[in-house]
Amino acid sequence: KLAFAMSIVLLATACQNQKESLDAVGIMPLPASVVPASGSFQVNESTSIQISGDGEELSFISDYLAQKLRNATGFAIPVSGDAGSIVLDLRSNSEDESYELEIGEEKIVISSNGASGIFYGVQTLLQAFPAELFSPNPSNQTWEVPAGKIVDKPEYAYRGSMLDVSRHFMGVEEVKHYIDLMAELKLNYLHLHLTDDQGWRIEIKSWPKLTEIGGSTQVGGGEGGYYTQEDYVNIVKYASQRFITIVPEVDMPGHTNAILASYGELNSGINLPDGDTETVTKSVEKAEEALKKSNIIREPAELYTGIEVGFSTLDTDLELTYQLIDDVVRELSAITPGPYFHIGGDESHVTKKDDYIYFIERVQEIVKSHGKTSIGWDEIATTTLLPGNVAQFWAMADNAKLAQEQGNQVLMSPAKKAYLDMQYDSTTRIGLHWAAYIELDSAYLWDPANYTEGISKKDILGVEAPLWTETVVTRDDLEYLVFPRLAAIAEVAWTPMEKRNWESFKKRIAIQGKRWELRDINFYKSPKVDW
Ligand code: TNX
């Protein structure tokens, strides 16, 4: 009996020890190095935060950390420049994203040469606590983190996601909610797909009808919406405090029906949403003939609320087209502090090849003249790219190669792995499946540097997971498609390939699932995981 009781005690201690080890707390994405030590740090009524270093960024980060600790624990958690038990040590002010996190029994120190590094150290620290730390309500329990040391840095510089706010509009609060969840996964770029056939979502003061008319509907015929420039500035600021850079996209020359519906004088009439490819091609030929023969009467296209792609094009011969683009790029660049401007360039099926090339090369110059670097979907690599511009690989390996051969980098978003709008399996209630069904393991098990012939690590700027929203209407819909796959993509982008491991991910994503559940974040409970 005694032996039995003792073995229970031993087992209990063993379990507890195991639970308390820093490499078993479920850090997402997995850090480059974790060395557990014995003992733990406990947050209590005397815990405080000390900041060492200057700047608005550091004070934002310390408040961010204090707020999360206060919410869950109910303790005061004061912040000061004097002594404290949790030290945020910003050693210089570079762009450095790497950090060290040392957890001792008396003290926690997060240090980095860059504010973003400190922010990532904070994210890691929060995940080292029991999952209840993520609950919006205080709970009565011991708040311990296991001791040890983490040294961490990202594998890729660009770790992103995209929201298509054109097909279904998402308000400022929804975008901020998404930014919060991205930041926890150490993602650092949010690409906003601001325009498409179904809707124009950003105020342009010199072309007001883009939003008045072009922003007035969406897929399914709902009321649509748009961001004022003030809203956009607000999003940019909220994101940048969380070390996320906004990349605005204006998709062109295809995917432009909303423009052509707003300003008839830009419409060549090659803009016919109905019919199969053959009918469309014939109609295009007819429209072109009419254009050549006569002074065609330009009139606005009809607003479009379906989900076909590839039927619209800007008129690449028309000077007014470039006047519009110059104004749009100028106004949007002025309120975009990040380096990139995304010019779309995908699926321009009714733009003639030569016209497409002329157009993309000219638009790259416009973007450059406003101080930005162009990113475009992989089709833009069929044109001459300006140095430093980026091709976003989504479907065509040949295009990725064309970019690489020109000495330009590739952003990896292969539709078969990284598309968040792809269904998990044939029973998923929303989403599409033209590229693949993407289960959680499939989203995790790939190596960007070994995915496409001829594209290796040095050619890759980073990884981005786009969410197209043809079928995404509510916040619940969004969360269901995004989670847990966004965590898989975040780890693909953050953690070196040789450190990644599906078995480890599986355990950690179950813990991450608890953190989401406590905040009512809807996610797909993949049968591959023991939740
Ligand atoms: C293709 S991916 C598109 C989008 C659609 C998406 C749906 C890409 C560059 N273009 O217009 O929304 O498929 O999955």
* 92: three-class secondary structure by DSSP: strand
Q: Are 247 and 140 found together in one domain?
A: no
Q: Is 291 in the pocket of ligand 1 (CB under 6 A)?
A: no
- For residue 189, give every residue at least 6 positions away whose Cβ sits within 8 Å of its Cβ, in sequence order, or none: 158, 159, 160, 161, 244, 245, 246, 247, 338, 340, 462, 464
Q: Are 373 and 270 found together in one domain?
A: yes
347 a catalytic residue: yes
- CA-nearest residue for atom 4, ligand 1, is 468
Exposed, middle or buried: residue 458 (CB in 10 Å: 0-12, 13-18, 19+)?
exposed
Q: Are 344 and 455 found together in one domain?
A: yes
Q: Are 141 and 182 found together in one domain?
A: no
CATH classification of the domain holding 81: 3.30.379.10
Choose among 54, 24, 21: nearest CA to 40: 21
Q: Are 148 and 189 found together in one domain?
A: no
Boundary of a domain, candidates 152, 186, 210:
152
Assess if residue 256 is contained within a domain.
yes
- CA-nearest residue for atom 6, ligand 1, is 468
Assess if residue 17 is contained within a domain.
no
Pick from 198, 309, 312 the residue to mutate for probing ligand 1's pocket: most ligand atoms within 8 Å of its CB. 309
Q: Are 105 and 36 found together in one domain?
A: yes
Q: Is 421 in the pocket of ligand 1 (CB under 6 A)?
A: yes
Assess if residue 10 is contained within a domain.
no
Boundary of a domain, candidates 152, 187, 202:
152
The pTM of this model reads 0.94
Assess if residue 281 is contained within a domain.
yes
Alpha-carbon torsion 179, 498, 442, 130, what sign? negative
Q: Are 97 and 121 found together in one domain?
A: yes
Q: Are 142 and 172 found together in one domain?
A: no
**What are the CB-based long-range contacts (under 8 Å, 24+) for 226-234?**
226/169, 226/199, 226/200, 226/201, 226/202, 227/172, 227/194, 227/201, 227/202, 227/203, 228/203, 229/202, 229/203, 229/205, 229/331, 229/335, 231/172, 232/202, 232/203, 232/335, 233/335, 234/172
User: Per the structure block, which two tokens stand in for 129?
Assistant: 């606590």
Q: Is 347 in the pocket of ligand 1 (CB under 6 A)?
A: yes
Do 411 and 158 form a contact (C-beta atoms < 8 A)? Answer: yes
**Structural domain range at position 140:** 22-152
Per-residue pLDDT 10s for the chain (531 aa) are 555 555 555 454 444 444 579 999 999 999 999 999 999 999 999 999 999 999 999 999 999 999 999 999 999 999 999 999 999 999 998 999 999 999 999 999 999 999 999 999 999 999 999 999 999 889 899 999 999 999 999 999 999 999 999 999 999 999 999 999 999 999 999 999 999 999 999 999 999 999 999 999 999 999 999 999 999 999 999 999 999 999 999 999 999 999 999 999 999 876 655 555 666 666 667 666 666 555 567 899 999 999 999 999 999 999 999 999 999 999 999 999 999 999 999 999 999 999 999 999 999 999 999 999 999 999 999 999 999 999 999 999 999 999 999 999 999 999 999 999 999 999 999 999 999 999 999 999 999 999 999 999 999 999 999 999 999 999 999 999 999 999 999 999 999 999 999 999 999 999 999 999 999 999 999 999 999
Assess if residue 5 is contained within a domain.
no
Boundary of a domain, candidates 152, 181, 205:
152
- Which is catalytic among the residues 132, 308, 347, 517? 347
Q: What is the DSSP letter of 335?
A: T
Q: Are 213 and 271 found together in one domain?
A: yes
Assess if residue 231 is contained within a domain.
yes
Q: Are 129 and 218 found together in one domain?
A: no
Q: Are 240 and 323 found together in one domain?
A: yes
Do 502 and 197 form a contact (C-beta atoms < 8 A)? Answer: no
Assess if residue 107 is contained within a domain.
yes
Produce one character per residue of 65-95: b if its CB has 16 or more CB atoms within 10 Å, e if not: bbebbeebbebebebeeeebbbbbbbeeeee
- Angstrom CA distances, 387 to 139, 384, 404, 408, stand at 54, 9, 11, 7
CATH classification of the domain holding 172: 3.20.20.80
Q: Is 309 in the pocket of ligand 1 (CB under 6 A)?
A: yes
Q: What is the count of structural domains for the chain?
A: 2
Pick from 194, 343, 347 the residue to mutate for probing ligand 1's pocket: most ligand atoms within 8 Å of its CB. 347
Q: Is 432 in the pocket of ligand 1 (CB under 6 A)?
A: yes
Q: How far apart are CA 86 and CA 77, in angstroms?
A: 10
